[in-house]
Amino acid sequence: MTLLSVIILAVIQGLTEFLPVSSSGHLALAGMIMKVPEGDLTFEIVVHLGTLMAVLAVYRRDLLELISGVFKRERESLVLAGLLIIGSIPAALAGFFLADSIETAFNSPVLVSIMLLVTGCALFSTRFMKSGNRDNPTVTGSFIVGISQAMALLPGISRSGFTISTGFLAGIKKEKAARFSFMLSIPAIAGAAILKLGDAGSIGIDLSLMITGFAVSALTGYLALRTLLKFLRAGKFSVFAWYCWLLGLSGLTVSLTGS
């Protein structure tokens, strides 16, 4: 991988991991357009770790309160920790049992494009949803949000878009739905790193390029997450549907016509 391709992929990851437009879909399409060798796409895990740092930075107070509350056995913190564990189960199971099928999906630009259209529909539906009054989901709601996160293992399905939209359906307040979604992303990203990071050193990616990708994705991820929260407060979450539809239709057109 060249320095330019690393920076481009890191910027794409940082911006699209939190904006509800599917980072995996963008990386898959960008990798095909830029003709990035398949092995080099293991680099994706490095830029994912960069965006993980962005989540930790934005939600550092919530995370510190949660950790402190768990150690102090405070009921509210214990409940939230339990809900996050429950919400993490579907993605963990899907990642373990369906890893090969998911990897194959990344090689299909048609599937990626269709999933972007599906993401757009999910985002557009939120304009008809009323804001809930819960700070956290119920046990059932947490598991359903977790299923949405598992679905986002497919390229083109936005993790943030699906989990936040499902949070709305579960009756969670808008900003609290985002908080639960991104706190839920922490074990998912960390788990993927544990499984895949060991392979990164065997494919010849230069260490300096990995550090560059990590830093760029962390910075752009932080800015993107802050931007998303502003859109949520303004009630404009559904506006991202138009972008997903445009990109999905463009991807389908190019894939099916070869032009």
Q: Three-state secondary structure along the chain?
A: CCHHHHHHHHHHHHHHHHCCCCHHHHHHHHHHHCCCCHHHHHHHHHHHHHHHHHHHHHCHHHHHHHHHHHHCCCHHHHHHHHHHHHHHHHHHHHHHHCHHHHHHHCCCHHHHHHHHHHHHHHHHHHHHCCCCCECCCCHHHHHHHHHHHHHCCCCCCCHHHHHHHHHHHCCECHHHHHHHHHHHHHHHHHHHHHHHHHHHCCCCCCHHHHHHHHHHHHHHHHHHHHHHHHHHHCCCHHHHHHHHHHHHHHHHHHHHHCC
Reported confidence tier of residue 243, pLDDT bands at 50, 70, 90: very high
Note the pTM of the prediction, 2 decimals: 0.86
Domain holding 161, by residue range, is 3-257
Per-residue pLDDT at 241 exceeds 90: yes
Reported confidence tier of residue 219, pLDDT bands at 50, 70, 90: very high
Name the domain count of the chain.
Answer: 1
Residue of higher predicted confidence among 138 and 193:
138
Query: What is the average per-residue pLDDT within 54-80?
Result: 95
Per-residue pLDDT at 9 exceeds 50: yes
Reported confidence tier of residue 45, pLDDT bands at 50, 70, 90: confident
Query: What is the average per-residue pLDDT within 23-33?
Result: 71
Query: What is the average per-residue pLDDT within 189-194?
Result: 74
Place of tokens 């947490």: 142
In angstroms, rounded to a whole number, what is the distance separating the alpha carbons of residues 17 and 37?
A: 22
User: Can you give the pLDDT at residue 231?
Assistant: 92
Per-residue pLDDT at 115 exceeds 80: yes
Per-residue pLDDT at 39 exceeds 50: no
